[in-house]
Amino acid sequence: MKKRELIRSTPEKQGIASQAILSFVSKAEETIQELHGFMLLRHGRVVAEGWWGPYAADLPHTLYSLTKSFTSTAVGLAVAEGRLSVDDKVISFFPDDLPAVVDENLAKMEVRHLLSMSTGHHEDSTERMITRSKGNWVKGFLALPVEHEPGTHFVYNSGASYMLGAILKKVTGMGMKAYLKPRLFEPLGIKTPRWDRCPRGVEIGGWGLHVRTEDIARFGQMYLQKGLWNGKRILPESWVAEASSKQVSNGTDEQSDWAQGYGYQFWRCKHNNYRGDGAFGQYCIVMPEKDAVLAINSGVGDMQAVLNLVWEMLLPAMGREALPEDPVAERALMDKLPALQVEAPEYGKIKANVTKFSGKKYVLDENHFKLKAITFEMLAEGCKMIVQQGAKAEVVDCGWESWKKGVSGLFSDRQEKVAASCAWRSYSQLEVTIRHYETPFVYTLLCDFSDSELIVRGSVNVSFGPQQFPELVGKAE
């Protein structure tokens, strides 16, 4: 199926001032800093798009829990095809994985409760589901106590989203990626989605999808159009209405976008908007009253700050009528967006005495990462950081106060695209920055050299665990 390109337009033609978008981008660079890319659609037209290099339009980005909204869509399609109902009992799909005694609350749990995060669990089931199941996450989920009557207690629960994917595979015989390919991905022009799987090969409903920013925008636009795409019905309008409306209360804080109600794997927002979102700032924001969609990828710790900036600077700027053209502001925006760039750290062009450190092998003390040794080769165009991991050597090429692209598996279980830079903070302290630019993660290593010793202190910008790494200490060989 031929992909239909999204139509581009000046912001003014769609009732939003170029200057407002410029101000949003500038304020984001000043206060948010780790936005990686965005695409804003108004009246079905792309009015602004930009990526802070090395992040780019043609690259996927890890979605984390924004995956859940795609999982909900798959369930909605299966319901429309008569393969299941939201009223179906969860235990009915897995007779071979049930605990010896099925308690009353587990027996009452329905598909709708998985969708609305109201399973009755007192806390998120994910970690316990994974760790106690020996690879059978379904069995691990069903073995957990259900402390509340389903439908009466909201708790954010990625294990519930996993179960939706497992149910879909049961009733369709396909994983979600294969199921959605002809029904959603191909019609919307989402060409190369990647979806992580559990040990038993089930695509993970709560996280694990990797797509481009534009793919998120297309998905949001389809929801804004109540399930239509290019005049064709993709998803029933009734499902869009149910999924995006408040199915359960999740708090009373009027200032929090995490307390406005929860639908079917979508969050309700302030200003009568709704969204899918994922950890560290992956967003698909649908604004029905403004006829707008905003897709964002980022690596932020404060996700509310991103939404606050949208509500403060973009939402009020969207008027009902087209605006007079503003050639000066339009040109400034057109010049600004393609030139967005994450700047590499600089420290005043310090000229370190690299001859002392270049090529010297530092053998590391026993450490959490099981790294054996580190060597730095100082070159005219940058440095090579060579890290010995068991029998293999991981090489990271860094540009001097500039980005050098490559691949690395140093902080991942697979080789990932990275952009790395290095800069001398002092005559004996080297800063190495490694951006995994298809993910939210940025790793910073502060390397303190002496004639006989190397100390490495590491951190990551955002993390599900500690953001500071245990100190690495090495002795010169």
Instruction: Tell me the per-residue pLDDT of 452-473, one tens digit each, with 9 for 90 and over.
Output: 999 999 999 999 988 999 999 9
Write out pLDDT tens, residues 320-347.
Answer: 999 999 999 999 999 999 999 999 999 8
Q: What is the pLDDT of residue 353?
A: 66
For the residues 385-410, what does the mean pLDDT come to?
93
Helices 158-172, 67-80: crossing angle, 10 deg rounding: 40
Domain boundaries, the chain: 12-59+212-339, 354-476
Which residue, 276, 270, 274, is CA-closest to 255? 270
Both tokens assigned to 450: 């002496």
Q: 395 forms bridges with which residues in the sheet?
A: 386
Per DSSP, 28 falls in state: I
| More confident of the two residues 80 and 466 | 80
Same fold across 12-59+212-339 and 354-476: no
Write out pLDDT tens, residues 309-318.
Answer: 999 999 999 9
Q: 268 forms bridges with which residues in the sheet?
A: 274
Mean confidence (pLDDT) of the chain: 95
- CB count in 10 Å sphere of residue 15: 19
Write out pLDDT tens, residues 204-257.
Answer: 999 999 999 999 999 999 999 999 999 999 999 999 999 999 999 999 999 999
Cβ-count burial of 413 within 10 angstroms (0-12 exposed, 13-18 middle, 19+ buried)? exposed
Cα–Cα distance list, 224 to 75, 77, 293, 305 (Å): 18, 17, 7, 24
| CATH number for the domain running over 354-476 | 2.40.128.20
Q: What is the pLDDT of residue 348?
A: 78
For the residues 84-111, what does the mean pLDDT come to?
98
Write out pLDDT tens, residues 403-416.
Answer: 999 999 998 888 99
Both tokens assigned to 190: 């989402």
- Select from 3.40.190.10, 2.70.70.10, 3.40.710.10, 3.30.70.1350 the CATH code of 12-59+212-339: 3.40.710.10
Write out pLDDT tens, residues 139-186.
Answer: 999 999 999 999 999 999 999 999 999 999 999 999 999 999 999 999
pLDDT band at 297 (very low <50, low <70, confident <90, very high): very high
Contacts of 323 (CB under 8 A, 6+ apart): 11, 12, 13, 15, 16, 17
CA torsion sign for 173, 176, 182, 183 is positive
pLDDT band at 1 (very low <50, low <70, confident <90, very high): very low
Count H helices and E strands in the chain, helices first: 13, 21
Question: b/e for 184-201, b at 16 or more Cβ within 10 A?
Answer: bbebbbbeebebeebeee
- Cα(291)–Cα(166) distance, rounded to whole angstroms? 34
Q: What percent of the chain lies above the pLDDT cut of 90? A: 91
Model confidence at 195: pLDDT above 60: yes
Q: What is the pLDDT of residue 286?
A: 99
Range from 1-15, 124-138, 201-215, 379-393 that averages highest in pLDDT: 201-215
Q: What is the pLDDT of residue 159?
A: 98
Beta pairing, strands 194-195 & 361-364: unpaired
